[in-house]
A = this chain, B = another copy of it.
Amino acid sequence: MIRILCVGKLKEEYLKEAVKDYLKRLSKYTKVELIELKDSNINNEKDEIQKYLKTNDYIISLAIEGKELNTLEFKKMIENNFINGNSNITFIIGGSDGIHEEIKKLSNEKISFSRLTYPHGLFRVILLEQIYRCFKIMNGEAYNK
């Protein structure tokens, strides 16, 4: 299972629709759970995030200082830890103030999608799309749109 922990509610209707669309597309391949945590200060958010972290999970923090991967490297990471391994994967998207250092420290990976700062709402869609892209590639289906 893939779990995405994110902070704050989506405001824009089009972002909600986009998230819904990718969750639906992904349901063909795997269970993806998106959990919206309450937008608060970084310490409270840390506590909320920790409630959902399990020892066996492969935990990935999305952080601007993280390692930048290309799509095939990202796919390989998912494959190694999910398809070949037995772990669930948990992605963490921080709120406006980012992710607490303690959470980053206990993560298995810190990865960055870009040197640019994206809004966290739009970033959910970007992450879901990239996970979807990986499953399409893993299943030998063309994905080029």
| Chain A residues near B (Cβ < 8 Å) | 12-15, 17-18, 21, 68-71, 74, 96, 113-122, 125-126, 129-130, 133, 144-145
Residues of B within 8 A of A17 (CB): 12-14, 17
| Identical copies of this chain, number | 2
Residues of B within 8 A of A120 (CB): 145
Closest 6 CB pairs of A and B: A14-B17, A14-B14, A70-B115, A114-B114, A71-B117, A14-B18
Q: Is the CB of B145 within 8 A of A116?
A: no
Cα distance A12–B22 in the bound complex, in angstroms: 11
- Nearest chain-B residue to A11 (Cβ)? B145
Cα distance A8–B117 in the bound complex, in angstroms: 26
Q: Is the CB of A116 within 8 A of B74?
A: yes
Q: Is the CB of A116 within 8 A of B15?
A: no
Cα distance A144–B118 in the bound complex, in angstroms: 9
Q: Is the CB of B96 within 8 A of A119?
A: no
Q: Is the CB of B145 within 8 A of A69?
A: no
Closest CB in chain B relative to A129 CB, distance in Å:
6
